[in-house]
Amino acid sequence: MSFMVLLGVVLFVGVAAASTFFFFSALFLRGEVSALLSPELALSIDGPLRMLLAGQALSLVAIGAIITVIVFVILSLLVARPLKRLERAMNTYAQTGERAAIEGIEGAPREVKAIASSFDALIDRVNESHTRDTEISRVKSDFISTAAHQLRTPLTGIRWAHEALLKENLTESQKVLVESAVEKSKDLVAIVGTLLDISAIESGKYKYTFAPVDMHTLLEELSKDFTQASQAAKVSLFYSREGDAVAPIAKVDKERIKWVLNNLIENAIAYTPESGTVRISLQVAEHRLFVRVKDSGIGIKPEDRANIFERFYRAKNAIDKRQQGNGLGLYIARTIATDHGGDLSFTSNTEGPGTTFTLSLPVS
């Protein structure tokens, strides 16, 4: 209920209550006057007395109505209208983040002006905080980018040196150590690459090359690429396409979307126990296509669901299952999806254990 409606109801109830009170008072006064006079005299003045009381009642009702209208107009101008303008300014800031001038409240009560002043002060503090956070984020991104660039060259050199050392005549124990060093150096180079991706995302420099891509063909290729990995993990991998025979074409950056799907499928296989299943499906509906990666793995616990797309976050059961990982994959994957006008979400399987990740993209 708006303030204007509430005010009208209150004033109407007040006038009605006053009119009712006067009506019963008039009846009581008429009875008292009649009791003081003889029956003949009381009967002779009953008509004029009724007219007098009715006239007074109408006069008071009219005066009450006029006063009610005046009070309603004054309160509307001084309270309701300034509050409405303040509400519009708040809604504008909440929806667009832009400050809207609050005009026409000069004659408003002190309390309304105090609310407007507090709102202006709140906007100033929010803007200051946002500016400070933006600057901190920029400095952090610059540092990560610089450090990652500085680390990439020596780490690549170390990896090449170890790979060259593998070609030498080594004992079996030496070969095992060098192979481990090669794998670790590859992991470090991959982490540096991920940090550079994070820096590019947060600085707005993450570039895309959009082109039409047949998602059915892409998913068939990926399912074949992961066949060996799924067999090694003793996990069954399936791909199916739902719907008609129309080619599901999406205008995307193929390499970026391929990276997202690689991440989802690799995670599904890694976090699914032996004899489990990973099912990839493609569906087109309502001018969008949906790629679902459903596994029968360890699942995502309720306490982890709100943070699963946060940077550097890894659930405890994921760490217990697989030590390797930096908690950046899903953050980058969802960013790529939203940059394409789509989204990346997940749901717990309703039948059996595991999780289903859904990548949605607009159909070109």
Do 56 and 167 share a structural domain? Answer: no
The type of residue at 172 is: E
Residue 177 lies in a domain: yes
Q: Return d(Cα 70, Cα 80) in angstroms, integer.
A: 14
Do 354 and 285 share a structural domain? Answer: yes
Closest CA to 108 of 78, 74, 151: 78
Bridge partners (DSSP) of residue 361 are 289
Number of alpha carbons in the 13 Å side-chain half-sphere of residue 172: 0
Residue 9 lies in a domain: yes
Residue 25 lies in a domain: yes
Do 348 and 274 share a structural domain? Answer: yes
Do 178 and 249 share a structural domain? Answer: no
Do 283 and 140 share a structural domain? Answer: no
* Residue whose pair of structure tokens reads 């940077």 in the numeric block: 311
Asked if 156 contacts 207 with a C-beta cutoff of 8 angstroms, the reply is no
pTM over 0.85: no
Enumerate residues 6+ apart whose C-beta is below 8 A from 122.
none
188: CATH: 1.10.287
254: CATH: 3.30.565.10
Do 303 and 238 share a structural domain? Answer: yes
Work out the burial of residue 352: count CB atoms within 10 Å of its CB; fewer than 13 is exposed, 13-18 middle, 19 or more buried. exposed
Out of 159, 182, 203, a domain closes at 203
Residue 299 lies in a domain: yes
Residue 115 lies in a domain: no
Domain range for 9: 3-108
Out of 108, 137, 168, a domain closes at 108
* pLDDT per residue as tens, the chain (364 positions): 455 565 566 666 666 776 676 666 666 666 666 666 566 665 666 666 566 666 666 776 777 777 777 777 777 777 777 778 888 888 888 888 788 777 777 777 777 788 888 888 888 888 888 888 878 777 777 777 777 777 778 888 888 888 888 888 888 888 888 888 888 888 788 778 777 777 777 767 778 889 999 999 999 999 999 999 999 999 999 998 876 656 688 899 998 999 999 999 999 999 999 999 999 999 888 788 999 999 998 888 888 888 888 877 777 777 777 666 667 888 889 989 998 999 999 988 877 788 999 999 998 7
Do 304 and 224 share a structural domain? Answer: yes
Out of 73, 108, 143, a domain closes at 108
Do 216 and 295 share a structural domain? Answer: yes
What pLDDT does 356 receive? Answer: 92
Neighbours of 102 (CB within 10 A): 21
Residue 215 lies in a domain: yes
Residue 124 lies in a domain: no
Do 168 and 273 share a structural domain? Answer: no
Do 302 and 215 share a structural domain? Answer: yes
* 252-286 confidence digits (pLDDT tens): 999 899 999 999 999 999 999 999 999 999 988 87
